[in-house]
Homo-oligomer: A and B are copies of this chain.
């Protein structure tokens, strides 16, 4: 997502981003930026500081409140910026205008590499594994292109597990992250959802699986890397 009041700059960045294979959306003021952010759920934000309606700092702060999405600040040359307090505030990088488009793209690439899981494809906004694709944008799970019906909870569960492949999550953590509340009484809720997912994904691929870690929890296990 590109936020800058100079439409030309937006245009330029958008073109370059698309040339790199990214999806790009541009908005021209701070308030629209926040709105778009919620709707569009970008993987990264390029954010000018001088903006109508709400300045870049405020926008950055608002974004930080609800998301860890990386933010690159664009600053006009000569603009006095306290880099330290800015970084401290949640921005991930600075670029001074006028900039080298090539440099911006390199920085975006560098940040995304670190930020997103290897299996995430920012072009389609989906997590991809052998024969399986998990797309948060449209809440869709596909196996070799065929849609698999997955109710919300099931979808969120597999999405969460698959965003951190190989990492074990306890049931507690999953309940908190996905169900979003402190869970009372014990129950086999998570297990049942795991079971239902397993049924649906049975025999699809042997490169990944929903694995039980006995006495601990579950993980989305993936064999090969790269």
Q: A residues near B, CB below 8 A?
A: 68, 70, 83-85, 87-88, 90-93, 100, 102-103, 106-107, 109-111, 113-115, 118, 137-140, 151-152, 166-168, 213-216, 219, 221
| Contact between chains at A214 and B84 (CB < 8 Å) | no
* Contact residue among B87, B88, B110 (Cβ-Cβ distance under 8 Å from A92): B110
- Chain B residues with Cβ under 8 A from A113's Cβ? 68, 90
Kindly provide the distance from the CB of A204 to the nearest chain B CB, expressed in whole angstroms: 21
C-alpha gap A170/B90 in the complex (Å): 32
- Chain B residues with Cβ under 8 A from A114's Cβ? 68, 70, 92, 111, 114-115
- Chain B residues with Cβ under 8 A from A118's Cβ? 68
| Contact between chains at B91 and A103 (CB < 8 Å) | no
Kindly provide the distance from the CB of A104 to the nearest chain B CB, expressed in whole angstroms: 10
Q: Which residue of B lies closest to A149 (CB)?
A: B214
C-alpha gap A68/B152 in the complex (Å): 31
- Chain B residues with Cβ under 8 A from A93's Cβ? 93
Most chain B CB within a 10 A radius of its CB, from A83, A114, A166: A114
| Contact between chains at A103 and B83 (CB < 8 Å) | yes
The 6 lowest CB-CB distance pairs between A and B, nearest first, are: A152-B215, A87-B106, A87-B110, A84-B106, A138-B166, A88-B106
C-alpha gap A185/B191 in the complex (Å): 36
Give me 17 other A-B pairs in contact (C-beta within 8 A), A68-B118, A92-B111, A138-B213 excluded.
A68-B113, A83-B106, A84-B100, A84-B102, A84-B106, A85-B106, A87-B109, A88-B106, A88-B109, A91-B110, A92-B114, A111-B114, A138-B166, A138-B219, A138-B221, A151-B214, A152-B215
C-alpha gap A102/B86 in the complex (Å): 12
- Chain B residues with Cβ under 8 A from A221's Cβ? 138
